[in-house]
Amino acid sequence: MGVQTLAEDILKVSGLSVNYESSQGTVHALESVSIAIESRSLIAVVGESGSGKSTLGLAVIGLLPSPPAKDITGKVEYKGVNLLELDKESIRSYRGTEIAMIFQEPITSLNPVYKVGTQIEEAIRIRDARKTDTSKSENPRKNEAHERRDEVISSLKRVRIPDPENVADRYPFELSGGMRQRVMIAMALSQKPSLLIADEPTTALDVTTQAEVLKLMRNLMNEVDTSILLITHDLAVASQVADRVAVMYGGQIVEEAEVNELFSQPLHPYTNGLLSCIPTGSKKETRLKPILGNVLDLRETYAYCKFAPRCPFVKDKCWASKPDLKPSKGEHLVACFLYE
């Protein structure tokens, strides 16, 4: 649907749609979403809550809660294989060692009754068991256990955790938020995935820690040869680490571009609105500029552009049909009738 296919795409999502069954009707969480990620790159998907960004992440790794999710259509091609066509067991074989995911609140995302070292070790064991498919049993011999322990320590070192031997024997509740998130990253990366999906990994952290974790993720990408799909509501976060940025609204991608290009020349009115929301702190600014209008009701299906009710540049055409995501110049994609 207008996305350039590059030879080295790790992930290629085409026309992905997801509906949720809710007590108040069917919610159209994702509508025909297409996005691609090259190897060794970091793409940030930015959107407000309800934009569908988390759904996108969960759909790729196959963790959408299956009721209430239904009607999953489209293609999710990972290294050429359409994951949506696979059965449960096959998808599970991709999780962890091919596609990994880390989540927003590290305190609830780590098992409270096991030490963090044990949890990382479990990830490593799964990876090892998959490599040597003949020995699926998890009977550790003595030196294997020792090796794994060493690897746990080094994975903690890699995420710059101080005193990793000590930390490995701690329970999650004994660590700070930033440390826990590093542990989650260490755990995910220890399985050596080619794609890491990070769903709001820094939202629960304070600004300083946020910056550190983001920088860490960026650096590790090259060290470990992993691509990252970063999901966030915060443009500032995206600007710090992304190669490309995709903006989502109402379950659709409305703009996608290389990061500097997006920030210097935003095309879609929504992106524009988002960027002007950020207070610059300059003397000329007298008031904050919100995006006018109400949040979209995703239970409705729209035959027109979803942003039309709030768009300062709306035309008649916008109420008549929906714009497709198309390249406007080079690799800068936008879904807006202003540019057609």
Residues that bind another protein (CB under 8 A): 61, 63, 92-97, 100-103, 105, 108-113, 122-123, 126, 130, 171, 173, 184, 187-188, 191
Output the six-digit token pair for 316: 């008649």
Burial of 240 (0-12, 13-18, 19+ CB in 10 A): middle
* Residues 245, 262: Cα–Cα separation, whole Å: 7
Q: Nearer Cβ to another protein, position 130 or 160?
A: 130
Q: Nearer Cβ to another protein, position 197 or 221?
A: 197
Shortest separation between residue 114's beta carbon and another protein, angstroms: 8
Q: Is the CB of residue 182 less than 8 Å from the CB of residue 161?
A: yes
Q: Nearer Cβ to another protein, position 21 or 340?
A: 21
Shortest separation between residue 181's beta carbon and another protein, angstroms: 12
DSSP state at residue 339: G
Shortest separation between residue 169's beta carbon and another protein, angstroms: 11
Shortest separation between residue 223's beta carbon and another protein, angstroms: 20
Please name the helix (run of DSSP H) or strand (run of DSSP E) that holds residue 246, with its range, or none.
strand 244-249
Q: Nearer Cβ to another protein, position 99 or 259?
A: 99
Query: Is the previous residue joined to 68 through a cis bond, with omega within 30 degrees of 0?
Result: yes
Shortest separation between residue 180's beta carbon and another protein, angstroms: 11
* Residues 1, 207: Cα–Cα separation, whole Å: 37
Per DSSP, the residues of 43-93 read EEEE--TTSSHHHHHHHHHT---TTTEEEEEEEEEETTEEGGGS-HHHHHH
Q: Nearer Cβ to another protein, position 4 or 111?
A: 111
Shortest separation between residue 48's beta carbon and another protein, angstroms: 22
- Paired sense of beta strands 227-232 and 42-46, if any: parallel
Q: Nearer Cβ to another protein, position 91 or 275?
A: 91
Burial of 177 (0-12, 13-18, 19+ CB in 10 A): middle
Q: Nearer Cβ to another protein, position 173 or 286?
A: 173
Shortest separation between residue 178's beta carbon and another protein, angstroms: 17
Output the six-digit token pair for 74: 């489209």
